[in-house]
């Protein structure tokens, strides 16, 4: 797995991410913030508390997290398509 090295919260529930191999981009979570773990992220101030945990996983203080390999596949698919 390629290591995720940077995550920054952007407006409109987007994340800017960068991987160790240079792949970088923006992913939108606006349509995915539902369910008990992800609904709190609808608060922009809470969403902005995103960080990389010790395993390089995108995470928030309430335990919500995103798999870095899934984000990587999404970004590389966008780059190949466009």
CATH code assigned at 18: 3.30.2020.10
What is the predicted pLDDT for the residue at 80?
75
CA distance 79 to 82: 5
What is the predicted pLDDT for the residue at 82?
62
The total domain count for the chain is: 1
Least confident of 10-24, 52-66, 67-81: 67-81
pLDDT greater than 90 at residue 2: no
What is the predicted pLDDT for the residue at 78?
75
Q: State the residue for tokens 């939108």.
A: 28
52 closest CA partner among 12, 75, 18, 10: 18
Burial class (CB in 10 A: 0-12, 13-18, 19+), 36: exposed
pTM: 0.91
pLDDT greater than 90 at residue 32: yes
Q: State the residue for tokens 């919500």.
A: 64
Tokens of 74: 């999404």
What is the predicted pLDDT for the residue at 58?
98
**Residue span of the structural domain in which 15 resides:** 4-81
């Amino acid at each position: 797995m390629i290591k995720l090295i940077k995550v920054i919260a952007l407006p409109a529930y987007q994340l800017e991410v960068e991987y160790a191999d240079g792949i970088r981009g923006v992913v939108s979570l606006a349509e995915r913030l539902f369910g008990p773990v992800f609904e709190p992220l609808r608060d922009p101030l809470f969403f902005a508390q995103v960080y990389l945990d010790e395993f390089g996983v995108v995470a928030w203080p309430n335990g919500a997290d995103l798999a870095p390999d899934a984000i990587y596949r999404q970004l590389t698919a966008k780059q190949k398509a466009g």
